[in-house]
Amino acid sequence: MEEQSLGQRLHIDFPLFFGILVLCLIGLVVIYSAGGQDMNLVYRQAVKLLIALVGMVIVAQLPPAEIARWSFGLFLFGIVLLILVIFYGDVGKGAQRWLDLKIFRFQPSELMKLSVPMMVACYLADKTLPPRFLTVVIVCVMITIPVLLIAKQPDLGTALLVATAGFSVLFIAGISWRLLIFMGGVAAAGAPALWYFMHDYQKQRVLTFLNPENDPLGAGYHTIQSKIAIGSGGFYGKGWLNGTQSHLEFLPERSTDFIFAVFCEEFGMLGVLFLLCLYLFIISRGLYIAINAQHTFGRLLASGLTLTFFVYIFVNMGMVTGQLPVVGVPLPLVSHGGTSMVTLMIGFGIIMAIHTHRRFLSF
């Protein structure tokens, strides 16, 4: 066995760690501005960030085989919790998402963001790839059950991300294009049925997305104000702490879901290019790790998590720039909030684990 590097011994992938840290620091800087220069908010976010980083490092110590072994149990546990939420969940912002565990409140749907791709990757790793039709059907059921439970809460954003996580693993696993197109067709055909099951506010969001100026002070307000913030920022931005849209409270949810608008207003197009470079760096590192993983499970899971991370970014940016309906998806690693931060970091912890537990046989 060859000499292990520091990263290998600590089970930390330094390029990934560095990219994450820079993004998080940018997040703190923007939160300081968006939160009305409230240092307390920054401290609290920093504490959450530290906890999440510790979680990441701990998870990174687990060998991937161990993670694979936990997949099924964790998945079942998650499903049970989701069912519990329906009966015992706390209501927050009009939706039942939380389980009150006395010490902290817990969102089982967050757990599913990790356990669904884990479960799918674990299941597919044992099958011959590309997966056969029956395998695909089983995977679809595996994904659909938690997604429906989450969508019922209702939490469309998380349901979407969980579904993405599962299906991206399926895609990487080499599902045939024919099946993929067939599934897309089924989804398209099912969309009208989905409309029927949607809550009024969800329908409203979709309608508003189609024509935000229809209701400028109501449902369309978010999108219009965030477009104003981004557009008025211009190429160079208004400068840090100078964003009028956010500081004068025109912009809603400015330290959480709409933090990208604050970033755009203050740092402009130039800042966005820099931010996207950072994200691309993290994504390409994740995909690099996926390609170089030693087991199918690791390959599938690392690429699935990385793709989910990208979908996070894309959906958030699309929503803030008015190209996608407003679904509650934060900008990963930048938005204020502990839960999504912890989930993401654990995801990166898993990716690091996949990378740092490789065994190199020396002949």
Residues within the interface to another protein (CB under 8 A): 126, 128-130, 168, 171-174, 225, 227-235, 244-245, 247-250, 264, 268-269, 272-273, 276, 280, 283-284, 287, 290-291, 296, 299-300, 303, 307, 310, 314, 317-318, 321, 323
Whole-angstrom distance between the N-terminal and C-terminal Cα of the chain? 9
Please report how the helices 338-356 and 64-88 are oriented relative to each other, as an axis angle in degrees rounded to 10: 160
- The Cα–Cα gap between 338 and 324 comes to 24
Q: How far is the CB of 266 from another protein (least distance, A)?
A: 12
52 or 125: CB nearest another protein: 125
Q: How far is the CB of 200 from another protein (least distance, A)?
A: 25
95 or 290: CB nearest another protein: 290
133 or 235: CB nearest another protein: 235
51 or 324: CB nearest another protein: 324
Q: How far is the CB of 231 from another protein (least distance, A)?
A: 3
Q: How far is the CB of 342 from another protein (least distance, A)?
A: 24
Q: How far is the CB of 140 from another protein (least distance, A)?
A: 18
What phi-psi label fits residue 340: left (phi over 0), alpha (psi between -120 and 50 degrees) or beta?
alpha
Counting beta carbons within 10 angstroms of the beta carbon of residue 46, is it exposed (0 to 12), middle (13 to 18) or buried (19 or more)?
middle
Q: Which of 217, 191, 187 is nearest to 206 (CA)?
A: 191
Q: Give the SS3 label for residue 331.
A: coil
C-alpha distances out from residue 87 to 52, 80, 99, 151, 167, Å: 29, 11, 10, 15, 28
Q: Give the SS3 label for residue 142.
A: helix
- Tallying the residues shown for the chain, one arrives at 363
Q: How far is the CB of 134 from another protein (least distance, A)?
A: 16
111 or 301: CB nearest another protein: 301
Q: Which of 308, 312, 333, 358 is nearest to 115 (CA)?
A: 308
68 or 352: CB nearest another protein: 68
Cα 21 to chain centroid, rounded:
17
Q: How far is the CB of 121 from another protein (least distance, A)?
A: 11
What phi-psi label fits residue 106: left (phi over 0), alpha (psi between -120 and 50 degrees) or beta?
beta
Q: How far is the CB of 272 from another protein (least distance, A)?
A: 5
50 or 65: CB nearest another protein: 65
290 or 326: CB nearest another protein: 290
Cα torsion through 188, 190, 192, 198, rounded to 10: -120
- The Cα–Cα gap between 310 and 238 comes to 27
